[in-house]
Amino acid sequence: MKIYKTKNYEEMSKKAAQIMAAQVTLKPDCVLGLATGSTPVGAYGHLIQWCKDGLLDFSQVKTVNLDEYKGLTPDNDQSYRYFMNKNLFSGINISMENTHVPNGAETDSQKACSQYNAIIAGMGGIDLQLLGIGHDGHIGFNEPGDSFELETHCVDLTPLTIEANKRFFEKAEDVPRQAYTMGIRNIMLARKILFVISGEDKAEILKKSVEGPVTPQVPASVLQLHPDVMLVADEAALSLMKL
Ligand code: PGA
């Protein structure tokens, strides 16, 4: 794991965006694995700006997102499809048909998940997967459990995740209880992983994930086994690490 330490969130965002921009520049028809949450928003802002400035071209890029709430349609402003359109896709010159998010409107979980696995495989896998981390160590919506779920699957969100995500909804009861998420194998098969983390509140889970044992109880710990992970984190998030 290569660790890039930054001063703060702004610097973390710029470094992460630079790495993504390098990928797009080196392979203009690359497959980017994308993430939602508050952490990547700053990096997405840089990519939009650089695209507007003519420095980046997304016309051939394809994307697959990690996850989506089950039961939310793309026009729902809490859906991850809506988030991606608003925070990235609408600001760059990407073809919308090249962007993929699990189909939250599909009520048949098996169908939604197998369709998504087929989409990822059909693209020839992911060149660079962007990942954030939840306070319980989740990546995508792979929550702590007794085993690593390998492929795209439907998950019951943990109380901690519902609590963390309720800030985006009017009330906690509005947070969907289930989601579709890429599995650990989908993520681990990405050729490169860009892991972005900011803030003191993530310091403990980052330490556990990187310095603790590899266990499905801390899903992000599996990244220790990936050959090409770039961790871009700010000082606060890295504050408990030995380094
Ligand atoms: P956050 O979410 O970026 O909003 O902290 C990360 C996650 O839950 O994966």
CATH code, 65: 3.40.50.1360
Mean pLDDT of 145-159: 93
Q: How far is the CA of 203 from the centre of ligand 1 (A)?
A: 13
Residue 78 DSSP SS3: coil
pLDDT at 110 over 80: yes
Domain count, the chain: 1
Residue 47 lies in domain: 2-234
Q: How many CB atoms within 10 Å of residue 40? A: 24
- Asked if pLDDT for residue 243 goes beyond 80, the answer is no
Higher pLDDT, 137 or 243: 137
Model pLDDT, residue 103: 98
Does residue 241 lie in a domain region?
Answer: no
Ligand 1, atom 7: nearest CA belongs to which residue?
134
pTM: 0.96
Please tell me whether residue 231 adopts helix, strand or coil conformation: strand
Per the domain annotation, does 115 fall within a domain? yes
206 close to ligand 1 (CB < 6 Angstrom): no
* Tokens encoding 76: 């729902």
Whole-angstrom distance, CA of residue 233 vs CA of residue 239: 10
Query: Does residue 240 sit within a domain?
Result: no
Give me the mean pLDDT over the 151-156 stretch.
Answer: 96
Specify the pLDDT at position 171.
86
How far is the centre of ligand 1, averaged over its atoms, from the C-alpha of 90 (Å)?
Answer: 21
| CB atoms closer than 10 angstroms to residue 95 | 12
Q: For 31-78, how does the pLDDT look when each residue is reduced to its tens digit (9 = 90+)?
A: 999 999 999 999 999 999 999 999 999 999 999 999 999 999 999 999
